[in-house]
């Protein structure tokens, strides 16, 4: 009886966790992103793998965005976060 109780607890938990990871997806670059189109033309050869690179830009609607990239092996960048921010007027 005890294995059945463990199975009834673990099965829904496993299904829930599978759904969580399936919902995660890569962030797509947009115009203004460093990796939009063909990606950057240069590699970050002196940056350690795993280091963070920030990039700020404005889109065509004059909204300000900040992106966070992680340096991958070989010096390429992976987009991991994008946030819209607002700078208050003085």
pLDDT tens digit string along 25-50?
788 888 889 888 877 767 788 889 99
Instruction: Answer yes or no: is 20 within a domain.
Output: no
The whole-number pLDDT of residue 69 equals 95
Number of domains in the chain: 1
Output the pTM of the full model.
0.65
Domain containing 52: what range? 27-85
Instruction: Answer yes or no: is 44 within a domain.
Output: yes
- What is the DSSP track for the chain? -HHHHHHHHHHHHHHHHHHHHHH--PPPP-TTSTTSTT--SS--SSSPTT-EEEEEEE-TTS-EEEEEEEEPTTS-EEEEEEEEE-PPP-
Instruction: Answer yes or no: is 74 within a domain.
Output: yes
Instruction: Answer yes or no: is 48 within a domain.
Output: yes
Instruction: Answer yes or no: is 7 within a domain.
Output: no
Instruction: Answer yes or no: is 9 within a domain.
Output: no
């Amino acid at each position: 009886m005890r294995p059945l109780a463990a199975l009834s607890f673990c099965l829904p938990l496993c299904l829930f966790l599978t759904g969580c990871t399936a919902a995660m997806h890569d962030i797509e670059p947009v115009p203004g992103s460093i990796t939009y189109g063909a990606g950057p033309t240069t590699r970050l050869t002196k940056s350690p793998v795993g280091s963070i690179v920030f990039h700020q830009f404005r889109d065509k609607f004059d909204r300000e965005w900040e992106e966070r990239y992680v340096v991958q092996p070989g010096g390429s960048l992976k987009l991991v976060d994008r946030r819209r921010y607002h700078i208050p007027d003085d």
